[in-house]
Structure 1
């Protein structure tokens, strides 16, 4: 998610920029960036669904110590993501006030804005990658030597074609589709995007009616990518983006599926509804010029019983759940249900 030209949203046709910095951090270091514990810093916003994928994957895989994390302020200014949540307004490891400084150390006058998630090389202070599509796949497949004992296989080799197919459909119609609806500049554009959003939700509900997870009987990358959109749906996409044919909480299958994931360690304990709502409603001034943040919806329902375990399946396969959230990464009580 980029902070570039937020005031323009709703006034020009939305098009998501392709990640400009697409280097990969791999076990063999083929791009010059080898997997190495403590060398890199993951910069995220808890408001951003694309960054939240990386936060969830990192926690499920037990990479908290190997890949330390910086959390940006959900409210951007003209220079985009900033570290005003940290003492002195600087990231304590990188020593910078804005993520843009790491981008500029890598390439001056770079295209595409400043987006999260981003991985920064700590020794040089330079950005390594902002490729949100590839980043989590590499965490699952290239960082295996640093995974915790009992970490799940989020991208199993024998199911990758099916996972890729599901993720592509979800991305086109839903992950990105809510943005095309929300930032539409005319009625026909909005109606086309909104129709695709709810058609995809209906197809997903049909798929999930008889199985606990999207692909196979364990959690995969596909579930992570769907969850980060579903958890934001009623809080921001239903009202702010006008995706309001019905609420997630009104669909019995998808609402139960989303609650099942939320209550799974590694998912709900990374969600900050306060950051999510303040970012969307205050930053997107092109479609919400008053900056008023709504009081609802009440997040308490996320903890209600879901009964999805009756469908079978094992969330972590032959592995185990991640341990407690590290103290420095716990979400403030006002950001999620108590």
Structure 2
């Protein structure tokens, strides 16, 4: 279950400042964090395939993949924004070369903010609430950001998206239907073969198209099923390894990414709740704004993001052409034109 996002503060300019602190900057950063967290939560909500009311698994995978990509980027950015709240509140940027109230000093301080400095400088403070927040911050960093024992690490996947612009998902891989028949038992898994003590290698010669009698290379298959790899080795010795295609990036499932994001969301909300206790000690409305009444409005965006059987039928007149491997979703416009 996705934890609700707290909305504790109003616009930053409505609050008082305290000497030696930067309360309003901290509140501004709090609102940046919560708004980004809200964007991430929206994407996470609709990344859940169970949220949608259609049966086409291919379309559901495309929808989930699109929302998951947005959620990954936003949740990864949330942690950086969270760090900036105490960074500005307690002026932890001191000693980094930033000069307060100079041109662009806030932007310069933002660029200096990092986890190690926040952790080390907060550790010097003696307030019990700060110590409790710091303990949760360290646990979160070591559990959800830098942890080789976790199959899904949001920071790593988000960095892959940032630098490689793609994540590999099992739902979009075309599985091999190559089977090995051993004593009437069909096997297509390297693991099953190994359980029977079988090491298998299959070689097939490749001939020159203009001279069918001339062998120019060999295709060597050593894995089966989802783990199948094929090496291509030319007669002159040049080798093209199939494992390079497999090991060049990690493959994830949409479900494990969704569960990883959900866990990340719920725990970063817990960290913020702890940080809010620290903030509340210093936050007070400016007296001239105490009589201002604020209202909030809630919106249901299901009509814009939730896939249903009815809107799937309506969208047949305006569908975009999307190609994910062998799966194609064709989208035509009312003008009758097609996008390619």
The interval holding the TM-score normalised by the smaller chain is under 0.3
TM-score (norm 1): 0.21
Please state which structure has a larger fraction of its residues in strand.
2
Please state which structure has a larger fraction of its residues in helix.
2
Q: Which has the higher contact order (CA 8 A, sep 6+)?
A: 1
TM-score (norm 2): 0.21
**Which of the two has higher C-alpha Rg?**
2
